[in-house]
Structure 1
Amino acid sequence: MLIAASDSTLSGVAAWAVSLMETLGGVGAGIAIALENLFPPLPSEIILPLAGFTASQGNMGLAEAIIWTTIGSLVGAFALYGLGAWLGRERLIKIADWMPLVKVSEVESAEKWFGKHGKKAIFFGRMLPIFRSLISIPAGVERMSIVWFGALTLAGSLIWNTVFILAGFYLGENWHIVEEYADILKYIVIAGVVIALAVWIVYRVRAARREGTGTDG
């Protein structure tokens, strides 16, 4: 059993997620994140740190938590992609209008963002609340390449899941602090990814120039 978390802390979504992970381990964490993708109001900012906390208590391995939650992210994302491709924009807008806690304006914002940024929207969208789920819908409606969609979803989800699970793992009983600072952590993660990509691009450009100079010589 998970210890040291107060009854008030482990309530609602948290209690449900803990029960699922205690019962099924990493698979339970994957199911919780898959459902979080399908139902955006479920907060990954709670589920992921809890997965890390569960791992710190020995209920599952750290790598197991990261792998299964990333699989869950892919399953949920592909489910929404499939719905977008199958039902189309208008039907999904009507469904979103019917669903509690989901705003049509958020779906439309995800649609506009995807239309403007394309592949980048899929990758970085995995690191933004609400967009993390909804960005799959316009990708499906527009029949984006499944290979690109899967690869970018995998990369973005793996980064996001790993950061939040590690935070929960090392914070232990104080895992709930992650939720309080989720917005700040979000920007730190995105900034870190952008910097890493910039460094990689600079490295590749310099390497190409060195190779070109060597060839000319």
Structure 2
Amino acid sequence: MDFMTLALPQEPAGGIAGWAADLVDTLGGPGAGLAIALENLFPPLPSEVILPLTGFAAGQGVITLFSALFWTTLGSVVGAAALYGIGVAFGRERMHALWARLPLVKASDLERTEAWFARHGTKAVLLGRMVPIFRSLISVPAGVERMPLPIFLALTTLGSLVWNSVLVLAGYWLGDQWDTVGTYVGVLSKVVLVLALAAVAAYVIVRVRSCNRTPVGAAARHRRRD
């Protein structure tokens, strides 16, 4: 019985799990690293499937546990570095130009965000690597703000190693039940997404109300001057 059959005993060898299992079966550790690098660039690819599956492969002797952790962490860093490069290429000037065209936002909002990132960017990059959805996206503002590359790579490596280790080891210990990891992490991802959408909605509501009040306040001040 081959690894693909062991990994996917009750479903056809297709989908994300089948694709990842085929990469690991064919390329070993580098295949897992490639899958995770692509997951960083395309967040819809779920690390909560790829990483536990890689841990299961290590438990079956397809690759070693060290290889699983090394290559998936390297893949995370490579993918994050590519997104960092996109942020650098986009740059602050383009970011400000784009921001100026967006409705309901002010230049001061972006300036405050930049100031926050200057103070807390290291924590954001480190902890962001352990938060579903944001673990990929956090690399772009780091590039836009030109966080020193050695610091970015060090923080990304550490944060990725922690996240990858938890999911890879879970798959390693759970054996053929590795896919249950995805269920729990998937719920966490949905919670994070809902909270992010709620925050955006609250921001828009506050901005709309502020814009609606501004003309009234300006008219009142004008009448007082008259």
Q: TM-score, normalised by structure 1?
A: 0.71
Over the matched positions of the two proteins, sequence identity in percent amounts to 56
Which whole-Å CA distance do the structure 2 matches of 1:184 and 1:12 have between them?
A: 20
| Cα distance per residue 1:79-121 (max 9 Å; x no partner) | 1101110123658xx9xxxxxxxxxxxxx9xx78846731101
Shift in CA distance, 10/125, structure 1 to aligned 2, threshold 3 Å: farther
* Partner residue in 2 for 1:76: 79
**Which structure 2 residues correspond to residues 98-113 of structure 1 after superposition, within 5 A?**
none
The answer as to whether partners of 2:48 and 2:186 remain within 8 angstroms in 1 is: no
TM-score, normalised by the number of residues in structure 2 = 0.69
Contact preservation (8 Å) 1:114, 1:135: no
Q: 1:68-87, CA deviations, whole angstroms, 9 ceiling, x for partnerless residues? A: 00000110010110111012
Q: CA deviation at 1:17?
A: 0.4
Question: Secondary structure of 2:150's match?
Answer: helix
Is the counterpart of residue 170 in structure 1 residue 173 in structure 2? yes
Aligned letter for 1:127? M
* 1:105 paired residue number: none
Instruction: Find the counterpart in structure 1 of residue 156 from structure 2.
Output: 153
Higher Cα Rg, which structure: 2
Match of 2:28 among 18, 25, 28: 25
Q: How far apart in 2 are the matches of 1:180 and 1:114?
A: 32
**CA-to-aligned-CA distance 1:17-47 (integer Å, 9 cap, x gap):** 0000100000000000000011111110100
Aligned length: 170
Q: Which runs of 4+ in 1 moved over 4 A?
A: 111-116, 183-186
**Which amino acid counterpart does residue 26 of structure 1 have in structure 2?**
G
Q: Where in structure 1 are there 5+ consecutive unaligned residues?
A: 95-107, 187-217
RMSD: 2.5
Within a 5 Å distance, the mapping from 1:127-138 to structure 2 comes to: 127-138=130-141
Distance in 2 of aligned mates of 1:81 and 1:87: 10
Q: 1:27 to 1:126 in 2, by over 3 A?
A: same
* Aligned residue in 2 for 1:39: 42
Q: Does 1:59 align with 2:62?
A: yes
Which structure 2 residue ranges, 5 or more long, are not aligned?
99-109, 190-226
Residues 158, 9 of structure 1: alpha-carbon distance in 2 compared, 3 angstrom cutoff: farther
